[in-house]
Structure 1
């Protein structure tokens, strides 16, 4: 790479290539060449895509589509260095430890943070345990290795940027990393981080489904180019970032990135209104035999569940903000009806055991704090209970993915005499609400209402 500075991204998935890589491509088109992307993965489950991109010199076609079916194709050329996965992660660690690498960003999904309801590390998770012994299966172990090497190289300060749907993601990752370094007694890195690392919070948004099988052929037909690693996403895009980069950053203002003092109003709206509604729609749609998000959103009673949840509970909890939350709700639900995206319920349903404590429980808790029963919100974990009961019985129409799923314990829960009691009193899911009898009674009522609704 001939650029002055490197932006290293960990998690080279479709979302990253549809979102941040697009913004960097816009910078290139605007004549900004100081920064270049290097990218790779912690795990080896996407190396076919990496191989395809290497053969294409990192270039690929991004197809965007509006709710009205208007498609646009653009060649993305912003990924300048592709780092192949290998067991010791040496290419990734080495790149992160170079002096010209000024930002290390990552997209590892909500479950990739391994946090409980109190936002502490889940030290019982097998991957976390492995990394506490010196491994690099998680973002914490990987970053710890990079920072150790960076210190040895005298490479200077670096920004660590979380790009996932975790509330206060920069703060949460900072605290998780500090806890990890304390548990591993890595005091050298722990002290170095205090003065040499910043952790901006950020909010990212662009619905990006898993590429459908027909995408390669459609892109070839529309563009005349053979691309074996295209990406398709919605036309909407947003990136809001706390302007707290210790070692410099690209000139994002030129390409529409929103640099702010506080991301909180944006991320709260996005997490509670978009992400939670999305998941609820996916769980419910699956239970009535639907495959795609758009058809589930267009199903009257499903849309009504999401609408009532946002209107009755979320908007009163969030209160007065700079954002028009009612308008945001309507825009979000309209985006979900985009039939051309063909976003699947399977993709969106994932990681429920991370989404409930991080995204749903806060609204439940805040409703009680306001003296209001969270009736509309409680439908959502109730729906997830029934959804996972179908998983337990082997009746889901697809494989459910959850990075923190304990299959044995969940099967045992559903086989118990009173599984609803065990679910509603689970502190990992519901925090202090697990000790409140009125919450358990509410969950019993709502789970029964879901059975009735689906019967």
Structure 2
């Protein structure tokens, strides 16, 4: 009899349930039930969702929609255990320490790794400081508790798998986690992690909006299931994983996952072409009064900004590539324009303070080093500055969410005598460019041009 294996996932949000859980579900549909998911969360904000999932025995319906509006509904059955939240993370610790748990995966957003632009652990962050004192409000604090218990119970090897939109996510998570353990004085555990875990890099992709009430209504009409945890996403899906699992893995290649030696070409294309462009469209659309990504993308001026950024700066930076980058650009923009997804600018605009250094600044640096003026890429930090200005003035139409924001300090900088200069001189956003006068002049010119464009653009109703 084959021993059953558990994929414990930290992060109960929509993306995991529309992406990784879908792939494990497809394996089970093929008759391979060797792996199942145990799902939990580090913070209490998903406690109600976990309760609803527990009441449904982990089952929920995933609605997908094509650019032509064709919808399909699937009942996902790969989540077999719900780990209820409590302040001690006791269910996460127990499951993570169990020998049948061979993979601990996580989706905590880019901000959840608390890294500086130089990819070092940011020890100034309040949450990191709290966890260094023994709390567990970050991924690092939670994993410290989990792996302490695992080590105490015999220390079976386990793969630690990042599933977030972070460049070199496995390696950078691992570097941050080991730095956290070192700072905390956890040398024996740090050595155990080095010896008994791997952290593969991954690239994940499926646009997954926050579920709105109409999703559950359509699910009930289509399936008869009154689903308290329904989720929806686009029909497109992709997953590329570095094949470096220390304790075995599901046969993901049988359900379309690309298992590779290096994910670098895929992740660079995804982060710079898809993720950065997504945020560009969200910031631009918000500034001229749109609520949704699809309607923002279909505005000629906004689509031109996005297309020129990719064509003029990103594609030259990533060439040569095993991917057809121009084709990838066109597919991405078509996906963003899908009118049936109804993804909000609010969701996509979030966490810009992590996205600028991770997704945009590398292209700026590379083009300037190559002797080119990255006029098209300068649009992105310029848009984000204008977006933050409106945030500081309480002029955004919705609440901006950012995992690393320090509101009082940022508001003070943005309402001071030189807000743009203060923004551009921030090394956490722009690294070496924070002292580059050519870069400052370029962005200042771009901000002035965009301010005129915004003023001339007739506001639209939401």
TM-score, normalised to structure 2, is 0.97
Distance 1:416 1:72 in 2: 51
Distance 2:228 2:176 in 1: 37
Distance 1:45 1:418 in 2: 37
Quote the residue 2:459 is aligned against.
Answer: none
Deviation at 1:437, TM superposition (A): 1.0
Deviation at 1:52, TM superposition (A): 1.1
Contact (CA 8 Å) 1:112, 1:139: kept in 2 or not?
Answer: yes
Quote the residue 1:226 is aligned against.
Answer: 226
Distance 1:93 1:305 in 2: 47
Q: Is 1:354 aligned to residue 348 of structure 2? A: no
Deviation at 1:155, TM superposition (A): 3.4
Contact (CA 8 Å) 1:98, 1:155: kept in 2 or not?
Answer: no
Deviation at 1:229, TM superposition (A): 1.0
Deviation at 1:3, TM superposition (A): 5.8
> SS state of the match for residue 213, structure 2?
coil
Q: Provide closer, same or farther for how the CA distance between residues 3 and 339 of structure 1 changes in structure 2, counting only shifts above 3 A.
A: farther
> SS state of the match for residue 88, structure 2?
coil
Please give the residue correspondences for 1:11-26 in structure 2 after superposition, counting only pairs within 5 Å. 11-26=11-26
Distance 1:331 1:355 in 2: 22
Quote the residue 2:235 is aligned against.
Answer: 235
Please give the residue correspondences for 1:56-455 in structure 2 after superposition, counting only pairs within 5 Å. 56-455=56-455
Distance 2:196 2:276 in 1: 35
> SS state of the match for residue 159, structure 1?
strand
Distance 2:12 2:209 in 1: 14
Distance 1:97 1:343 in 2: 37
Deviation at 1:453, TM superposition (A): 1.2
Contact (CA 8 Å) 1:102, 1:159: kept in 2 or not?
Answer: yes
- Residues 143-178 of structure 1 deviation map (CA, whole Å, 9 limit, x = unaligned): 111111111000311100000000000000010011
> SS state of the match for residue 283, structure 1?
helix
- Residues 360-413 of structure 1 deviation map (CA, whole Å, 9 limit, x = unaligned): 000000001111111110110000000110111111000000011111111111
Distance 1:3 1:151 in 2: 21
Name segments (4+ residues, structure 1) moved above 3 Å. Answer: none
Contact (CA 8 Å) 2:105, 2:163: kept in 1 or not?
Answer: yes
- Residues 103-132 of structure 1 deviation map (CA, whole Å, 9 limit, x = unaligned): 000000000010010111111111000011
Matched residue count: 454
Distance 1:241 1:404 in 2: 27
- Residues 82-103 of structure 1 deviation map (CA, whole Å, 9 limit, x = unaligned): 0000000010011101111100
Unaligned runs of 5+ in 1: none
Contact (CA 8 Å) 1:3, 1:35: kept in 2 or not?
Answer: no
Identify which range, 88-97 or 222-231, moves more after superposition: 222-231
Identify which range, 41-50 or 330-339, moves more after superposition: 41-50
- Residues 251-271 of structure 1 deviation map (CA, whole Å, 9 limit, x = unaligned): 111100100000000000000
Unaligned runs of 5+ in 2: 456-462
Deviation at 1:436, TM superposition (A): 1.0
